[in-house]
Amino acid sequence: MMQRTLVLLKPDAVERALVGRILARFEAKGLRLAGLKLIQVTPALAERHYAAHRGKPFYAGLIRFITSGPVVAVCLEGRKAIESVRRITGSTDAAEAAAGSIRGDFSSSNRFNLVHASDSPESAAQELANFFAPGELVDTSRESLRWLYDLSEGDPL
Ligand code: CMP
């Protein structure tokens, strides 16, 4: 099933100049860019994005970090994109993330963990709406999927 998901390349990814290498991993998997922009996250946007974590002990630090420098907001599209992107990203605590994942290969922090990725279809829809206006997302042409999936039976296989 084709899905869209929100990925944020956090301030550590931008400052450490890892943006290109991280995006390359998602692109290599066949995930398509549907939206991409460099933004400074405001406190209001950070609080909306991390509303589910309000009240947790790490909440204040999380808001401070995500607003501490520019982030790259990305909408990725692909078959089973939400779980696929989560697997490529690796588990939250980068010290424990699997080797081969972005966090496993490039971080050992539980906060400076480089990437945020939506964890369900509901949060993907909400988070994409928080970061992108509908006109900022582009539709992937069927032609561009031609060698990523078998399209001969209708739905991408
Ligand atoms: P992210 O995927 O952006 O979503 C929530 C973030 O909270 C998560 O990445 C972590 O960086 C952070 N987080 C989750 N659990 C903890 C924790 N126990 N201590 C510090 N930060 C945490």
How many domains, in total, are found in the chain?
Answer: 1
Instruction: Give me the CATH number covering residue 34.
Output: 3.30.70.141
Q: How far apart are CA 17 and CA 32, in angstroms?
A: 21
Q: Which domain holds residue 122?
A: 2-134
Across-strand partners of 72? Answer: 9, 38
Q: How far apart are CA 113 and CA 95, in angstroms?
A: 9
- pLDDT tens-digit map of 64-112: 999 999 999 999 999 999 999 999 999 999 999 999 999 999 999 999 9
Q: How far apart are CA 36 and CA 132, in angstroms?
A: 9
Q: Is residue 102 part of a domain?
A: yes
- pLDDT tens-digit map of 42-59: 999 999 999 999 999 999
Q: Is residue 144 part of a domain?
A: no
Q: Is residue 139 part of a domain?
A: no
For ligand 1, residues with CB inside 6 Å are 53, 58, 62, 92, 110-111, 113, 116
Q: Is residue 140 part of a domain?
A: no
User: Residues 121, 82: contact at Cβ < 8 Å?
Assistant: yes
Q: How far apart are CA 125 and CA 28, in angstroms?
A: 24
Minimal-distance CA residue to ligand 1 atom 11: 111
Q: Is residue 148 part of a domain?
A: no
Q: Is residue 152 part of a domain?
A: no
Q: Is the pLDDT of residue 1 over 90?
A: no
